[in-house]
Structure 1
Amino acid sequence: MAKIQSYCEAGVSMQQVWVEGGLTLCFYFTLVPCVLLALSFLFGTLLCLFYSRYGTEMEPKFIPRSGLYRLQVVLSVLLALHAPGWAVYRVSQGGDQPGYVVLYGCLSTLGWICAVGLLRLERKRVLVRDRTRGHSVVLLLYWAVAFAAENLAFISWMSPQWWWALETPNQQVEFAFWLLRYFCSGLLFILGLKAPGLPRRPYMLMINEDERDVEHSAQPLLGDSSENQSTWKDFGKKVRLLIPYMWPKGNAILQLLVVLCLGLLGAERAINVFVPIYYKNIVNQLTDGSSWKTLAFTVCIYALLKFLQGGGAGASGFVSNMRSFLWIRVQQYTNRVVQVRLFGHLHALSLRWHLGRRTGDVLRSIDRGTSSINSLLSYIVFSIFPTIADIVIAIIYFISYFNAWFGLIVFVCMTLYLTLTIIITEWRTKYRRDMNIQDNNAKSKAVDSLLNFETVKYYNAESYEVNRFEDAILKYQVSEWKTNASLAFLNQTQNLIIGAGLLAGSLLCAYFVTEGKFKVGDYVLFGTYIIQLYTPLNWFGTYYRMIQNSFIDMESMFKLFTEEEEVKDDVNAGSLYYRQGKVEFENVFFSYSQGKEILKDVSFTALPGQTVALVGQSGSGKSTIIRLLFRFYDVQGGCIKIDSQDISKVKQSSLRAHIGVVPQDTVLFNDNIRDNIRYGRVTASDLEVEEAAIAADIHDKIMTFPEGYETQVGERGLKLSGGEKQRVAIARTILKAPQIILLDEFYLYTQIDLICS
C-alpha cells in the first residue's frame, strides 16, 4: 500500500524549481493544476455571471451541428478522466508517493470539468452582442495554457527525474500519460481557434435575417455556398454520387484494370520500404569490407528497386508509369459516364429551369466539375491513401528498427504537418470559392455579350461591354491574389515543420552513431527514408488542396445533379393513343409565379380538322397555352385532353411525337441548313429534306446561296433573316409530319417579308 509521506519527493522542496538540468516534478505538478483551476473556476465563474445576466438562450436551429464540437467534448472529458487515472496509477505502484500526485489528480479533474461546463454554456447561451470570433477569451486562454504547460516538459529533456530516457516500464507509462495530455490539449487548442460548435455569424444578425420575408432571400441558380462552409460538408453524400463512377459496373476488363492498379499501388509501398534498406546495406558493406560478389549483388538489387520506384517517391518509376498507363481507360470511362449522365440530366430538367439559367455559368460548372472528378479519384486513390500508408509504415518501422524516439519524431511532425495543412486549407476555402464565383461571372458576361453580338452593335455598346468584362476580370484577379497569397503562407508553414523534423531526427541519429549504438549505414537509412517520406508528404498539402478544390469545383455540378425534374411522367403513364386530334382545355388555371395568374379558368375545344386562332395582346398567355399543350409545365387547375386523354397521364415523348410547332422565336443550331431541317426527323433522306423545304417555300432561296443546303447558319441562326429562319422551322415541322400543328405568331415574319418585298 502506497503512503503519502511528504508533499514533494525526498530531498526536494517547493522552493526548488530547477534541479539536475530540469524542472522539479513537485513544482511542475503543483503549478500547472493550480493555474488551470484558477483560470477555469475564477474567470469561468465571472463568465457564467455575464452569460446569466446579459445573455440569452440560443434557438436550437441556429446552433450548428458539428462532429468537431463533439470531439472537443470527448477530448475535455478524456483529460478530466486522465488526471485521476494518472494519480491512481502512481499510488498503485506502492512505496512512498509525494502529496502533489493527489493534488494534481483532484485539481486537474476539477479544472477540466469546469472547462467542459464553459464549453457547453457557450453553445447554449449567447451574449447579446456581435460575436464573430468564436470561443470566449477564458476558454481559449485555458486551452492555450494547458498546451503550453505540456510543452514545458521539453525543457527538462536532460533531467533524470523525468521520463525521457524511457529505460524503465514506469518511465514508459509516464511518457504515455504525457503523450496523451500533449496531443489532447494541443488538438483542443487548435479546434478552439475554429470554434466548430458555435455560429460563425452574429446571433442577432441571424435572427433578423430569419425574420425577413422569404421573397427577399431567393437562392441563386447554382447555389453559391457560404464562404465559411466547409467543403467536407455532406462528404458522404458527395462520395455516394461518386461511387458509381469509381467502379466500372458491367465491364469486366475495366474492373480487372482497377484491381491491377490497386495491386501495383501496394507493390509501390513495399518497394519504398526496401529501397533505403538496401542503400543502408551497400554503405555498411563498403565500410565493413565485404566481398565484391556480395556487394555487387546488393547493388544490383538496389538498382532494380530504384528502377521500379523511380524518382524517390515513385513519381516516374516503372511501376508508377505502368499504373498510370493502365488507369487511362478507367479514367476515360469515368469522364464519359459523368458527362453523358449530366448532359442527359440537363435535358430532363424543366423549361422553367432552362429559362432561368445562365449559359456561361452552367458551362463553366460542367467543365470544372467533370474534370475535377478525375482529379479527385486519382488524388484520393493514388496519392492520399498511399501517403498515409507510407507514414504509418514508417512510424512502425522506425519504432521497431531504431527506437521509440524516432517514431515519436516522425509522428509529431506528421501530425503537425497534416493538422496545420488541413486547418489552413480549410481557411483558404472561402478565397477559392469566391474566385470560382468571380470566374463564373466573368465568363457569363463574356458569353452573354457574344451571344447578343447583334444587339450590342445596334446600341453601339461595345465599350460598355468591354468595361463590364474588365471589371469582372479585376474582381477575379483580387480573389486570385488572395488564393495564391494564402497558398504561399501554407507552403512556408509546411517547409518549417518538415525542416524541424528532419533536423531533430538527423541530430539524434548522428548522436547515436557517435555513441556507437548505430552504424553509418543506419544514419544513411534514416536520411534516405525520411527524405523519401517527406517527398510525398510535401505533396500531401498539394493533394489535399487539389481534393478540396475538386470538391469546390464539383459543388455547382452536384447542385445541377440535385435539380429535380418539374414535369415527370406518371408511374403508370402509357402512350398517347391518337384517333382524330380533338384538343380540349377544361377550366385551366396556370401561373409562372405565385400571385400572378396567367390563365384563369380557360376552356376551349379545337375539333379535328379545325383551325383555331388565339388572339390577344402580348403577355396574355398565347405562348403559354402552347407550352402547356407540349407539357413543358403542368397545369395548376383543370386539365388538357387530346382525344379525351388527359395529357398528364401519358408519356411526354409520346405526346410530343404527335405535335409540331413553329415557335415565335426560331432558334437554329450552328450547323448547315440541311441538318437544321433534318432535325424534324433525323432519319430523313436528303430528298425528303428538299421536299419539305419546297413545301415551306424556302427551297428556291436556299439554292441561291453559294453552298446551297450546306450553308452554315451561324450561332443561333444569325446568318439568316427572321423570315428565313421561320421558313426553315416550317420545313422542319413539315418533315416531322405531326398530326397537330401549333403556329406561335406565325404570320408576323411572313407579313413583314411581304411588306419589305
Structure 2
Amino acid sequence: MATKKKTVSADSSNPMDTLVNLWPYMWPSDRLDLKMRVVWATVFLVISKFVLILVPYFFKWATDALNGKLDMVGLLPTFLLGAVVLVVLYNLTRIAQVGLNQLRDALFASVGQYAVRQLAYRTFVHMHQLSLRFHLERKTGGLSRIIERGTKGIETIVRFTILNSIPTLIEFLLTAAIFWWSYGFSYLAITAFTVWAYIWFTIRASDWRIGIRRAMNDSDTDANTKAIDSLLNFETVKYFGNEEMEAKRFDQSMERYEKSATQVWTSLGWLNFGQGVIFGVGTAVIMVMSALAVQSGQQTIGDFVFVNALLMQLAMPLNFIGFVYREIRQGLTDIEQMFDLLEVEAEVVDCPEATPLVIGQGAIAFKDVHFHYDPERPILKGISFEVPAGKTVAVVGPSGAGKSTISRLLYRFYDVQQGSITIDGQDVRDVTQKSLRSAIGMVPQDTVLFNDTIAYNVRYGRPGASDADIEQATEIAQIGHFIKELPDGYGT
C-alpha cells in the first residue's frame, strides 16, 4: 500500500495553511545554508522597516528647519547647515531602505527557487509513478499546463507570503504606534478604519475575481491541450486535410480565454479604483485634521508634511496587501490542480515485501488471468498459457481481443483482477517493478522516439552504454551503415 503524502489543500482559503505546508521546503532540514539565508533575510526585513520609518521624520525636520521652526540649538551650527544635513539624511535613509530590501530579496531568492525546484521535482516523479491508465485518460497538453502554472503559483505563494505580508504588518503597526503617540487616538482610529475598509474591500473583490480566474485557466488549459494534441498528430491532420477544423477548435478555446482574460483585467480595474477611493477618503480626512491643527498652532508645517509622507508611505504596503492577497489567492487557484495530481495514488505499487526478480530460464506463465479496463467490458476471461524458456510464442487475434493488454500486464502497467502471471515461478506482483522491467526488452508496434539524437534514443535502453556498445547494437539491427552515412551520424 502506498503511503499518502501530506499535501497542501487546494481548497484552503487561509494562506497561513499553505505557508505551514510549504515551510519544510523553505526551511529544509538538510540545508543549513538556506536556513541562514532565511534568518538573515528576516533580519534585514525588520531593519529596513525601522529605517523606513525614519524617512518621513527627516522630511518633517527638514521642512521645519527651512521654515525656521526646528529647535536644534547646539546640534547644528547654522540654520542652512541644519536643513542641508537633514535633506541629505532624508535621501540617504531612502537609499539605505532600498538597499536593505534588495539585499533581503537577494538572500531569499535561492530559498524560494529551492522550494519551487523541490516541489516541481516531486510532481515530476509522482507523474511517472502513476499508472498507464492515468496517462491514457489525461491530455498531455493540459497536464503540462497544470504543472507549469502550479510551479509558478508555488513561487508566488512562497515569495509574497514571506517577503510582503510580514513587512506590511510590521509597517502598519509602526505607523499606528507613531500616529497614536504623536497625534492622538483620533488619527489612529481613522487610519485603522481606513486600513480595515481597504483590506475588507480587497478581500471581497479578490474572492469575486477568483471565479473569473478559474474560468480563464480552464480555457487556457483547453486551448493548450488542443494545440499540443494537434501538433503531436500533425501527420494525421494532414492525411485528412483537417487543418481548418483544428484551427477552428483551437480558436474556439482561445475565444473563451479571450473573454475570461478581458473580465480579469476589467475586474482588476474596478478593484484598483475602489482601493484608491477608500484610501483617498481616509487620507483626505487625516490631512484636513492636520491642516486645521497647523492653522490653530497645534502642529507645524513639518507635522503636516510628516503626516502626508507617512500616509503615502503606508499606501505602498497597503497596495501590496491587495496585490499579495490577489497573488496568493490566484496562486492557490493555479496550484490546486497540481496538488490534486499529487493526491492521486499510484494504481500499481510494489508490495512491502517485494524483492528483485531473479532470472533463471526466463519461463513465463499466465494462469487463469482475468482483467478488464472497465468492469462492464471484460478483456481477458481466464486466459492461461506458457512461454517456455528459449521458445517463441505468437499471440494473434482481432483488434480489441487483448493482445497489447497481455504485454502491459506482463510489464505490470496494470495488475490482474484474478489469476497470476509468473516468471520462473515468481509472481510479478511480488517483485519490484524496476527489476521486472529491466529484465524485459520491448519492441513497440509504434515507433516512439525522443526529440533528441539517434545516439540518445539507442542508448535510452541502457543509459550507461558506451559509444562502442551503441554502434554494435545498430550493426546488429542492420542500420549502422545507414546512420554512418547521415551528415551528423549518430548525432542526427
- TM-score norm. by structure 2 comes to 0.92
Q: Call closer, same or farther: CA 1:307–1:526 in 2, change over 3 Å.
A: same
Name which of 92, 97, 108 aligns with 1:304.
92
Name which of 403, 406, 411 aligns with 1:625.
406
- Asked if 1:400 corresponds to 2:188, the answer is no
Name which of 259, 268, 273 aligns with 1:478.
259
Tell me the CA shift for residue 230 of structure 1. 9.4
Rounded to whole Å, the distance in 1 between the matches of 2:185 and 2:13 is 37
1:176-204: CA deviation from partner (whole Å, max 9, x where unpaired) = xxxxxxxxxxxxxxxxxxxxxxxxxxxxx
1:61-83: CA deviation from partner (whole Å, max 9, x where unpaired) = xxxxxxxxxxxxxxxxxxxxxxx
Name which of 414, 419, 432 aligns with 1:651.
432
- Asked if 1:565 corresponds to 2:353, the answer is no
Find the residue that maps to 2:370 and give its secondary structure: strand
Q: Which residue of the partner structure matches residue 164 of structure 2?
A: 383
Listed as ranges, the gaps of 5+ residues in structure 2 are: 1-8
Rounded to whole Å, the distance in 1 between the matches of 2:425 and 2:10 is 54
Higher relative contact order (CA 8 A, sep 6+): 2
Tell me the CA shift for residue 251 of structure 1. 1.5
Whichever residue aligns with residue 443 of structure 1, its letter is N
1:442 and 1:473 in contact (8 A); partners too:
yes
Q: Call closer, same or farther: CA 1:236–1:513 in 2, change over 3 Å.
A: closer
- Identify the range of structure 1 (284-293 vs 440-449) with the bigger mean alpha-carbon deviation: 284-293
Rounded to whole Å, the distance in 2 between the matches of 1:234 and 1:592 is 40
Q: Which residue of the partner structure matches residue 247 of structure 1?
A: 27
2:180 and 2:187 in contact (8 A); partners too:
yes
- Asked if 1:263 corresponds to 2:46, the answer is no
Rounded to whole Å, the distance in 2 between the matches of 1:649 and 1:561 is 26
Tell me the CA shift for residue 241 of structure 1. 4.0
- Asked if 1:353 corresponds to 2:134, the answer is yes
- Asked if 1:679 corresponds to 2:467, the answer is no
Tell me the CA shift for residue 296 of structure 1. 5.1
Q: Which residue of the partner structure matches residue 203 of structure 1?
A: none
Find the residue that maps to 2:117 and give its secondary structure: helix
Q: Which residue of the partner structure matches residue 433 of structure 1?
A: 214
1:248 and 1:333 in contact (8 A); partners too:
no
2:10 and 2:337 in contact (8 A); partners too:
no
Rounded to whole Å, the distance in 1 between the matches of 2:29 and 2:297 is 58
1:466-518: CA deviation from partner (whole Å, max 9, x where unpaired) = 12212211111011111111111111111100110110000011111222222
Name which of 590, 593, 602 aligns with 2:383.
602
2:10 and 2:332 in contact (8 A); partners too:
no
Equivalences for residues 60-99 of structure 1 within 5 A: none
Equivalences for residues 279-428 of structure 1 within 5 A: 279-286=59-66, 287-288=68-69, 290=72, 291-292=77-78, 294-295=82-83, 297-309=85-97, 317-428=98-209
1:61-113: CA deviation from partner (whole Å, max 9, x where unpaired) = xxxxxxxxxxxxxxxxxxxxxxxxxxxxxxxxxxxxxxxxxxxxxxxxxxxxx
Rounded to whole Å, the distance in 1 between the matches of 2:20 and 2:236 is 45
Q: Which residue of the partner structure matches residue 168 of structure 1?
A: none
Find the residue that maps to 1:585 and give its secondary structure: strand
- Identify the range of structure 1 (506-515 vs 320-329) with the bigger mean alpha-carbon deviation: 320-329
Q: Which residue of the partner structure matches residue 49 of structure 1?
A: none
- Asked if 1:665 corresponds to 2:453, the answer is no
C-alpha RMSD of the superposition: 1.9
Whichever residue aligns with residue 473 of structure 2, its letter is A
2:58 and 2:89 in contact (8 A); partners too:
yes
Whichever residue aligns with residue 29 of structure 2, its letter is K
Whichever residue aligns with residue 547 of structure 1, its letter is I
Q: Which residue of the partner structure matches residue 31 of structure 1?
A: none
Rounded to whole Å, the distance in 2 between the matches of 1:237 and 1:505 is 36
1:672 and 1:709 in contact (8 A); partners too:
yes
Name which of 207, 221, 225 aligns with 1:444.
225
Q: Which residue of the partner structure matches residue 325 of structure 2?
A: 544
Tell me the CA shift for residue 320 of structure 1. 1.1
Rounded to whole Å, the distance in 2 between the matches of 1:230 and 1:240 is 14
Rounded to whole Å, the distance in 2 between the matches of 1:237 and 1:397 is 32
Q: Call closer, same or farther: CA 1:235–1:408 in 2, change over 3 Å.
A: closer
Rounded to whole Å, the distance in 2 between the matches of 1:244 and 1:483 is 33
Whichever residue aligns with residue 304 of structure 1, its letter is L
Equivalences for residues 634-645 of structure 1 within 5 A: 634-645=415-426
1:597-634: CA deviation from partner (whole Å, max 9, x where unpaired) = 11111111211112111111111111111111111111
Equivalences for residues 149-160 of structure 1 within 5 A: none
Tell me the CA shift for residue 233 of structure 1. 4.1
Tell me the CA shift for residue 329 of structure 1. 2.0
Listed as ranges, the gaps of 5+ residues in structure 1 are: 1-228, 310-316, 712-757
Q: Which residue of the partner structure matches residue 197 of structure 1?
A: none
Q: Call closer, same or farther: CA 1:435–1:614 in 2, change over 3 Å.
A: same
Rounded to whole Å, the distance in 1 between the matches of 2:89 and 2:311 is 21
Whichever residue aligns with residue 254 of structure 2, its letter is I
Tell me the CA shift for residue 527 of structure 1. 0.8
Q: Call closer, same or farther: CA 1:389–1:461 in 2, change over 3 Å.
A: same
Whichever residue aligns with residue 175 of structure 2, its letter is A
Rounded to whole Å, the distance in 2 between the matches of 1:521 and 1:233 is 43
Tell me the CA shift for residue 298 of structure 1. 3.9
Equivalences for residues 19-34 of structure 1 within 5 A: none
Rounded to whole Å, the distance in 2 between the matches of 1:515 and 1:234 is 47
